[in-house]
Amino acid sequence: MLRNVLGKTFRFLGYTVQYGCIAHCAFEYLGGIVVCSGPSMEPTIQNYDIVFSENLSRHFCCIRKGDIVIVKSPNDPKSNICKRVIGLEGDKVCTSNPSDFLKSHSYVPKGHVWLEGDNLRNSTDSRCYGPVPYGLIRGRICFKIWPLNDFGFLRASPNGHRFLDD
Instruction: Give the CA dihedral 154, 160, 165, 166, nearest 10 degrees.
Output: -140
Assess whether 83 carries a catalytic annotation. yes
Catalytic residue among 40, 57, 123, 157: 40
Assess whether 40 carries a catalytic annotation. yes
Nearest Cα residue to 140 out of 61, 40, 38? 61
CA 123 from chain center: how many Å? Answer: 14
Instruction: Collect all residues with Cβ–Cβ distance below 8 Å to 32 and sequence separation of at least 6.
Output: 26, 52, 53, 55, 139
Catalytic residue among 53, 57, 83, 123: 83
Strand partners, 106: 93
> Annotated active-site positions, please?
40, 83
